[in-house]
Structure 1
Amino acid sequence: MSTEKWMKKTPTRTLFSRLVTIISGLTFSIVVLFTAATLLITYSFEDALFNDRLALAHAKVKEGEALPYNIQLVDSLGELAPNLVQQLRYFEFDQSSEFGEFSVEQRHYHYLTTAQGTLLYDTTDVSVVDKALNDVLLILLVLLIPTVLLTFWVANVSARYALKPFSQLSHIFTHAEYSSQQGNELIEELKEQDVKHIALELQQALQQKAELLSQQELFNQGMAHELRTPLQVMKNSVELLTASYPDLAGTGAIQRLEKSMSRMNRLSSGLLWLTSEQPFSGTTNVTKTIKQAILQLGDVCKVHGISTELRLDNNYDVAMPEEVLELIIFNLFNNVVHHGKAEGTNVIWHVEAKNKRLVFSNLAAEQPEYQLQEQHFGVGLALVSRLTKRFSLVASYQTNQNKFSAIISLV
């Protein structure tokens, strides 16, 4: 799978977009329901008018006067009596009502049951609402576009106003330093006490995390410094041992021990660069260093079932000590060991050098994103960020659909 597919972003879901969607849907639903209710009310007014005409016709029947041409007196509705479907269609739920309506053979009738018989009123040609219905629907359709635009505008304004405290909260923790006076002033400007309380708790938690991270880094640096003495003792002991017993010099055990001491010494040197103010004027070949580091990790890869796919088409040099770049690679590999997810039988670690960037990608286990950035020893990705920043480079991390990528810009 190519790195481009791994880096493809999915649409970001935000609280603002969710609230806009909900308010837009709610507002538009209210508009549609209000429009439908208006049409039903119009039909109800017209039904009341037809019922009044039937009542007047009933009065004429009592007085023996002639009925209008479209109203006739019948003994009963007979087969024309509305069934349950007709009653539900025209909301005729009151069985005891004298008035009613029904449709038959594309004609619409209103009726009034009286002692003299049933007055049947053919309202097909006199219904004003039905005649104007097409024009009404056309007007509503024309008004639909500005209604949608107005609905979206109202939703945006409402969501922006409702989420203003959370926008301020987001601004504080994404644009301001947590321990700076500016961040404290922004928190004090929050008017909503509940949001201010959350901001203070979050600021305190982030400060504690920063302090713990700093302490852990200091511990690692101190440990790296203290390792130099026993490493030197071990090196001298191995040299003395091989000098006293020349046959041991070429054995596998001595070679593995020498490689381990060399690796520990390089890791120690890499950690010490964090506090060193000494400028580095040389360069390191990225392709060569990556291949050497992967070769050293060969046995560990077999133990943990990790396969590496290298795409080092471009040969870059970076202004960084070789041991520092190795330390970065080892920490990223450690992240794969603890959080990588198998693709088939093995966990596949993609390493690519392209467009002045190093991209390390792997499928990550399903867990919260913050856990993907944690390590079981050391400071993990935080150490990678500090090391790259020490040499004026930038490290960034992305997690999309459980695909984790660490990106180091070489410019």
Structure 2
Amino acid sequence: MAKKQKRIHHKLIRAMLIQLVLISGVTLLSVYGAAKVVEKVLIKQALEGEAEFYWQHYKNNPTSNLPRTLNLTGYMERSSHSEPVPHDLAQLPIGYQRLETRDKRPLVHVSERYGRKLYLVFEEGQVAKLALFFGITPLALVLLIIYLPAWISYYMAKRAVSPVIKLSRRMEDVDANEGFEIDFSDIEENSDAEVDVLLNAFKQYAKKVEEYVDREKNFTRYASHELRTPLAVLKGSLALLERQELDERQQAVVNRMHPMIREMEELLEALLLLSRDQAPEETDSPISLNDLIEEQLFQIQKINSDKDIQVSKVFDSTIKESISERLFCICINNLISNAFNYTEQGFIRITIKDRDITVEDSGCGIHPAALKRIHEPFYREHRENIKVKGFGLGLSIVYRICEQLGWKLDIESKQGEGTKATLTIPKKK
């Protein structure tokens, strides 16, 4: 059974992670925005206020001491009571800016009055540490408080859907070839009403499927056995007829009946094999599929000898495999017969390349709508100019054989141009 990558508990985990990432992202963006507000607004306003306060004192007392604290250092040009202005500060223009030439990248406010420049250098390292302690630490606690309910919500949601997850995993182990008898008792003990609905629906459909399969197998088996009786009568009558003196025309008719009866017997045998559960018997040693194809082609060419068709064979490789000879002959016989039946004149080309067997014709082709339904039993496309006897079972049986044996049949067709059928026989490991 094919497994999908997206499961319910994966979706729950993804939803929780997305929720946590969004919460964390919004929180971190908020902290980053707050830091920028502190840098761009609060510190700037504080330095501007400090500069204005100093200039007012300087106006009354030019010998006022420059600001000097743990985080703030003041410098002034041409001042006897100030340290010399560092060279990197002296190059800065008037205004508020960050000094990029130093490792700590301090914030600097430069103002000018009375013919002198005042440099206020703010070292934000200590402030950043305080912000980290009083900002990030509470933030981590807040995130932890948010993450805990999120994890609890995920745990509760997982418990709520756990019966569905168990049911899904149990269904993965279902093998249709072994029946649908599955023990759901452990799931039913703690299941909700919705899970009970799913279980009951599955049991009902499984029962119907088993009934349909049994009915199909029984019908195929009984029909095949019943059809053997008239075939046996035909074979016996044909054997008696051959003991009589026949002219050339009558003998030709008898000769044409032999391969048709043999083909019908093989078809009935295929139906019986497909109706059984066990795999069909294979040859003890690898056989040449090329030889089987040539045998089938020879028989079909004799029946259609009156048609103006150029038949060519291009065998680029030889396929040898231990397979069911009868089932392979049914498949290849059907494909070649269809090519002859729907080609009045033109060509039929049979190609073998690697593991692909291709039967291509220049016949009437298949309508795109009909091409989608050619695998359906009893389906036949109506064609005005071509009348082919049959019941529309040939290709459906071929598809059934390919499905059971792991072969692949691909049919391409363009109406009015022809059809190409490719049968792929995978190499056994």
TM-score of the superposed pair, with normalisation by structure 2: 0.48
Q: Name which one, 1 or 2, has greater alpha-carbon Rg.
A: 2
TM-score of the superposed pair, with normalisation by structure 1: 0.49
